[in-house]
Amino acid sequence: MPDKILVTYASRAGSTVGVAEAIGQTLAENDFQVDVRPMSDVTDLAPYRAVVAGSAIRDGQWLPEAMQFMRTHQAALSQRPVATFMVCMTMAAKNETYRAGVAEWMGPVRALVRPVSEGYFAGALDLSKVPSLRKRLMFRVSIALGVWAEGDHRNWDAIRAWAEALAPRLHA
């Protein structure tokens, strides 16, 4: 089996792209050959010994194209180590109660694959990138109530630490 790792992602506003790139860079610094690619560009997993797959979260779910990727490649994913991650603003919420249920959102992914590790990361909130007026208003209300703040909430140290901890699991 080849020794290359695929880090693949689905993103809406770009936060997940940045997280995937940081994971890929960290794995490369740990002597892995790494490809970082959007899920929409991946057609074959044969070149990869392991896969790290992640998605932005919308309405408590992985993006539809991310779930489709997991279903399409389920058989190939079952034959290699797979780590999964999600990027969502709920991880930036100040109230622990909000963050407590986030792991449940990985349930549909776990029904398809058995991740060797799962990463949960906050994203960035840029209201200008929120496409729907209704969603922008909901975010504005949440900001006014102090649920979270606009800005980049990605914890790069936590992302890199998670990626470093993947190294032995991806060799399995």
Reference 79, options 113, 117, 32, 38; nearest CA is 113
Residue 70 three-state SS: helix
Per-residue pLDDT of the chain (172 residues; tens, 9 = 90+): 567 999 999 998 889 999 999 999 999 998 899 999 999 999 999 999 999 999 999 888 999 999 999 999 999 999 999 999 999 988 887 777 777 788 899 999 999 999 999 999 998 877 777 777 777 787 777 777 767 777 788 999 999 999 999 988 887 6
Could you give the CA distance from residue 172 to residue 167 in angstroms, rounded to a whole number? Answer: 9
Helix 156-170 with 15-29: angle, nearest 10 deg: 50
Could you give the CA distance from residue 20 to residue 5 in angstroms, rounded to a whole number? Answer: 12
Could you give the CA distance from residue 61 to residue 122 in angstroms, rounded to a whole number? Answer: 15
Could you give the CA distance from residue 122 to residue 90 in angstroms, rounded to a whole number? Answer: 7
Could you give the CA distance from residue 8 to residue 63 in angstroms, rounded to a whole number? Answer: 13
